[in-house]
Amino acid sequence: MKTTTKQWLDFAKTDLLACERTLNDDLLTNIVAFHAQQTVEKCFKAVIEENGIRLPRIHDLTRLYSQISEKLDFDLDLTSMQILDSVYISSRYPSDNGLMPDGKPTKGLVEQLYHFAKSVYENTIKMIE
């Protein structure tokens, strides 16, 4: 595993831990959504790095996925990815961080997104190692 790949995966793990530690707080659902998105983004960037693909400076999960879809050896829940892709991460106001198009995500939704992010992280680790 390349050093930079490991760094991306280490950063992804910290975002996943942030999800785990805030998952049960109804007040922080937007924070969970934001860190779930970041987990998946960093896993995708780890795969890009490991495969020697030029790393784009974007946060769009769909575009990142299009660069690595043929490299993945695991199935991906595209619906969850698209939901995560709608998380507003380039906000001008801190309160918007992690908001969905319809506002603050529900506890049930962020649980789904957390499990999706965890699955992407675990499968990425297995695939690269």
What CATH number is attached to the domain comprising 8? Answer: 1.20.120.330
Q: What are phi and psi of 7, to 5 degrees?
A: -65, -45
Residue 43, token pair as written in the block: 């896993």
- Per-residue pLDDT at 116: 98
Please tell me the least confidently modeled range out of 22-31, 53-62, 70-79, 83-92. 83-92
- Per-residue pLDDT at 104: 84
Q: Is the pLDDT of residue 33 over 70?
A: yes
- Sorting pLDDT into bands at 50, 70 and 90, what band is 53? very high
Q: 102 lies in which domain range?
A: 3-128
Burial bucket for residue 51 (CB in 10 Å: 0-12, 13-18, 19+): middle
For the chain, what is the domain count? 1
As a whole number of angstroms, the distance between CA 67 and CA 80 comes to 18
Q: Is the pLDDT of residue 12 over 70?
A: yes
- Per-residue pLDDT at 87: 81
Residues 6+ apart with CB under 8 A from 129: 1
- Per-residue pLDDT at 86: 86
| pLDDT tens profile 66-103 | 999 999 999 999 999 999 988 855 444 555 566 667 77
